[in-house]
Structure 1
């Protein structure tokens, strides 16, 4: 009970100022909070999408490199000289070894990453090599040789091998050599420097966000490359099984320090689990990385050629710093806007109260008996009109009291009518939606009641009439909704943003698919769709209408086709939706975008004839244009633009 009493003691100036400040500051504060929250979620989603894309890109690059080296190995293995050597007598082997070594040297020089090539006989001994040192080595127990002898193309794990006086990481690509009958007679091995993987990873630094980096691990969880911390490579991210550890030590995988390196665990459980999993979890994970001593977001992608895993990571603190900076800017901008709004509100309150105070003084003077009291400085707004009425009232009061009462009544009536008119104007939109539909709902309800109550008792004609009543009600409701949609377009502000049109079309197709529109067997996106600076909601409505129309008008076509694409005409991006459906007579194309104009009978294709009017209104509001080309029975193509400088190439979106 105390609060109203306190408010009643406030001056009108204080009440009006408080109202204006609350009406401006509170919505801005709420909007700023929501904007910051949405911005944070969008930034995190964008960062996660970028990490995924970068990891997939690197994995694809590694797979391509593996396949390229395997193809080169197959090319060498298919040389006639190689096959002749593998199938010749020992005497000829000795005679041709030097020439074959020279051939290997030529291939070795073609790629600086190739350390050497070797030909291994069916017993597992190196018979010819680009370097003399490995000749005679026994590789019969190597799993890679055994697999190649069975006819498989094999990629070895990363191993250390001597090169130019020091141990260097290498990968061996081994392929079978077959005779004319298809039997494996030898194996061809190509040894490649594994440092190329580190070079690829280093080139990706920072491309997934500030301080982002990449890691490559093998199937045991051993790091093969790290784009920012090379000193941590060839160490596992978790403890190896004793059998795996002993086997790799026995093979001398990393030279004499193999055991020390494999027992130097730099634990990263999230990385370790995904590297050793049969199929790594594709979702974004969060974990503490020992290499940079901080929390990171990361994604894992498995190579298709070998069981290696690419990790792309982003330090959480860098993402949080970017989010904090963006949040500070948002809050600062909101505070500036709120301060300006509050100042304008106070100034506006003062401008309103000034004539009110003048009117109050004049009223008090008139009540005290001052017949010459008048309101000075009349404006042209409602308060000015009120002051003019007061002055007229005061003048007539001196003449007769009846005229004063009539003037007062007229003024009161005018104020009431003005208030009613304002309320009617504000309620117009909702009254259209409610009042126009209410009678239709009554008719539909009673007709449904009749249909239910007299089911089976009506003759065919009565049932037909009742069905037509319900169909007419449904059509009228759709027409009212169409008119409202069309009218709303002129009142809604455009909220332009950068739109990924390809993604938007995908969302529209998914929506149509969920509505049982047959899009999968007929809709094709042709080429790349340029991004657009547009209102995303309205642009989605354009594509939804055009695509649903295309699917509808190809419903009677034996082999329906709908194509969505983009073409550039004179530097202007023109989107199009083309179908091979019913088409229309081009002579009536001018009526196509008029409300409630239809070029086909309702019995053939359902519709209201207002969808294309909405599409045209949306395109025109973006400063673009829309047109159509068609022929009866040969389909139609709808083209539209979104105004100058509205589109950018797809790669930049």
Structure 2
């Protein structure tokens, strides 16, 4: 802004005029603004009251509408004809035509009612005024909700296309039977257009442009007073789950998803409609229907979870206020013009004496000290100002004359002093010339020194005798990152900071030693200079003292050289040698891998060739089924397949460890027990070669925490290898020794063939075998030791071997005594399949293997219980009797041998067939125990089922039915009936005898009479359900007792069904029993 437009530069007359205008206009403006604000607030209060009244009136009309139809449907639900129709069985019901005539009464009397219907408790239409009898409407969510409530009113929806696709409201009431229990549902389908007519009648009743909107509790518009296009559009973004549910329900017809995803946003209405207690205060928001800002209030309905909003446009509401504002502005402008005219006249009179004073001051400023304020001066403030100005001008004129005289005298004195200064200056010039010659000589010497330093390719730093930097050459500046200007005067240790290249420890610079000892310090290597900017560079440095001609030390010179290029060349040379060595190792590894793969392919092809060859002979008929070689060939096929599976399992185990998927379960273990288990597994193999197995275990190792299963796997690999490569009559020794570093050492020593020293390093490497011919003579993949190394290292340990050819080998593994324990996730026991089928206990800790066994057994008709640990398995064996048990030998909390010992010691399952399913397939592992079969993992379905069949566990067995009745004839009749149908029965004439029979062997089902001496049926059920193996066994009550409602409620908890004696024959009861055993379903009451 230019200076002439600044307010402070304005003429005084203009300033006074502006002041007067502001004094007149500002109060009027403030008063007008206050009035406008108050008028606006009053207008909003009045509008809020009007909107609230209209909204409450509309809510009353809508609630009245709903109550009328809710009353109608309640009356319909209580009609005796409706109750009798739904309470009667289908065969005995009255004519649907008669009931349809009753249902048509209300639609005929009220055109708003589109139709009426009766539904059973499954949601199936049993009678209707439309043509969809038998249709199941439970796919509608509001039908499902109505079936759970005494009364229910739906939101507005679009009905099915087969009945016109008309927007409707469903009013529904529960139909109750004579006993007070729900037997069905009465429904009235009312046209939504009749409710929308109420909405349209409310349009514009709160002022011009006012309108009403109806929302459901999801924030979806279900009614509008004048816009049908916005109906069924939400006012905000809905959850995807709600959109999917309403779309599946076809709530608003086939375009439901398009309507719900097309949001017509009005956040204020959306949030209030979804709130349980809507905000009833006045609010403001932008409405999409009129594309403008509106004020409104919301009110909830009492009869349904809907909300009514009554809105009025802000423009219509505030139009009177805007007119008043224009009138106020016009009045203020007229006042401003009048004030400006009066102010200009008054300011001219007031400013006239000020102009006279201004003219006099301008003349004095121009040098006319005789200028004065002319004319007659008034006696006010401006007059006194002019008089004082005249007095001041007279004094200035007198002082100016005095100053002129003093100036003339001063000029005379200056001339005298100048003459004296000329003489002194001549003497000073002579001294300056002498100093200039000395400085020129010094600069020439300095330039020569600088040229010398700058031409040196090494870094040079000079210090004084206190170790402070005084000089640096450019190379030193570049290497240290310090300029001479910054480094001058600083201690050398700040500028020249070096560390050892390998240890990174701070190293004393040669200059410090020179200062301390006064001797030359030669080159020092393997140091790194840390630059000021953070970079590093390897250097070689040396230091020497600077001495004066008389031999006194004047400082130190430090010389250092950048060794980056030399070090880089050295590293390149070393890297080249390393790469060449690695290339040789890679070529050797590739050769060994190819050799290993060739051996592996041979190992894989050998059993495959045998399988294919023997199978081809049998398939082509060259060997008859009754020929002696037939069974021998089948045995060869099975042995080859198992050998092939073991080869593949070894490779998969190693890949699992390398992929990091190894699961460890550290726990306190007894090393003696673990070693004993593995030795017992391999003792038979060792005995076949007359090899003596010895153990020497350190008794101090009583606090070991590790993964017992993985420890046994490592020990198994070591011992099996030792036995494999030890000739007949040899010896294998197992030792454990405590170590001082909180570890312990496991050793397996053999008297085998030994290993050459050059081959020891290759033992634990994948894809490497020491001798191809030796590998061919011994079965296996050669991956055992590599897998062992990975297992030990995963537990924080290490492996190794000492050996000499011909003198045997000692393989060892070092384990930490206490691994960090983590709580393993143990699957809870579970039950699968149908009650009554043969019951198999599956003991398996691996989730995948357990799921596979459950699938095979349940699909084949068996019932299955599972246990993931030895403790779970023994607990189930003590509680229940099983038809067969499958057992894994490697469990997380105990060995399979211990579990097998516990099973054989239990009373209920000591003679049950046990099938071992495990990766350890040696028979020696379970020597001394009655084991029906040993199957390798992964188990094959036909093999497992065949093993169960051979154990006498038939899939078609139906289970045992326990009959409890004090009447001997009833017992005989029911036992004979069930025996003819293939059921095994056990009869008991008292409840106590029945409980003893159930404790001995859990039945598949129970048929129970309630009236018995000593202990009745109710007491029997209380004791029976407390037995763990009988908690879920189905019970059918068969009695002549008249059962009360309270007794039926009690039986519904503990029994599966009730059949009255005399109403059905024994065969019919047996049919009910068959259905319960197959489905094991809900409570069945045939009383």
Query: Would the TM-score normalized by the shorter structure come out above 0.5?
Result: no
The one of the two structures with greater contact order (alpha-carbon pairs below 8 A, sep at least 6) is 1
- Give the greater-gyration-radius structure (CA): 2
TM-score, with length taken from structure 1: 0.45
User: Which of the pair is proportionally richer in helix?
Assistant: 1
